[in-house]
């Protein structure tokens, strides 16, 4: 019998990181929901704000497909943080836990399924080229309708 755990690439798994939030230190992963993470350098960048505002207009569709949105700011939590959106959880990661855990660089976006397996991870680079919102919604929609029992049929 083969070891099925070798079939998954654990490098592409979002670990259960505890990051600083408005409510204290909290887990980035939420129970039973896919997760869209937008990882930014700071809260004041106009490019980030614009992208996150656009994403905020789609949050109802994301949640309707079983998705959740979190913004991770790679900076210390300010004394009076300005929330990106009430629909998003905001975390602060000055120690770069997320970057180290995934061997990635900020800014970027990732989408993980309800078990933490990453299905999309894309850097926005120095030019802040984030993936289109429709692409992210498509990934969340896919995770909302895929059949986990069928995925093993080809194994």
Given a cut of 70, is residue 5 above it in pLDDT?
no
Written as six digits, the tokens of 65 are 């497909």
User: Residue range 58-80: average pLDDT?
Assistant: 89
Q: What is the pLDDT of residues 91-117, one digit of tens each?
A: 999 999 999 998 888 899 999 998 899
Sheet with strand 118-123: strands edge to edge: 24-27, 18-21, 89-92, 67-73, 34-40, 108-112, 118-123
- Pairwise pLDDT comparison (39 vs 5), residue with the higher score: 39
- Pairwise pLDDT comparison (76 vs 2), residue with the higher score: 76
**Size of the chain in residues:** 155
Written as six digits, the tokens of 153 are 């049929």
Q: What does the pLDDT read at residue 15?
A: 87
Query: Which residue ranges make up each domain of the chain?
Result: 33-144
Return the percent helix, strand and coil in the chain, to nearest 5: 30, 25, 45
Distance CA 2, CA 10 (A): 17
* Predicted confidence band of residue 59 (pLDDT cuts 50, 70, 90): very high
Assigned fold of 33-144:
Glutaredoxin (3.40.30)
């Amino acid at each position: 019998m083969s070891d099925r755990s070798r079939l998954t690439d654990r490098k592409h798994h979002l670990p259960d990181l505890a990051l600083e939030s408005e409510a204290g230190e909290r887990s980035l992963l939420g129970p039973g929901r896919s997760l869209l993470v937008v990882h930014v350098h700071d809260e004041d960048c106009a490019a980030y704000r614009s992208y996150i505002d656009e994403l905020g207009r789609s949050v109802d569709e994301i949640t309707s497909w079983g998705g959740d949105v979190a913004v991770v700011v790679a900076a210390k939590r300010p004394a009076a943080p300005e929330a990106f959106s009430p629909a998003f959880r905001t975390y602060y990661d000055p120690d770069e836990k997320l970057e180290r855990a995934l061997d990635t660089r900020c800014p970027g976006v990732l989408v993980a399924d309800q078990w933490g397996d990453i299905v999309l991870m894309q850097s926005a680079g120095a030019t802040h080229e984030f993936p289109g919102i429709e692409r992210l919604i498509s990934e969340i929609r896919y995770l909302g309708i895929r059949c986990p029992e069928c995925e093993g049929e080809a194994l």
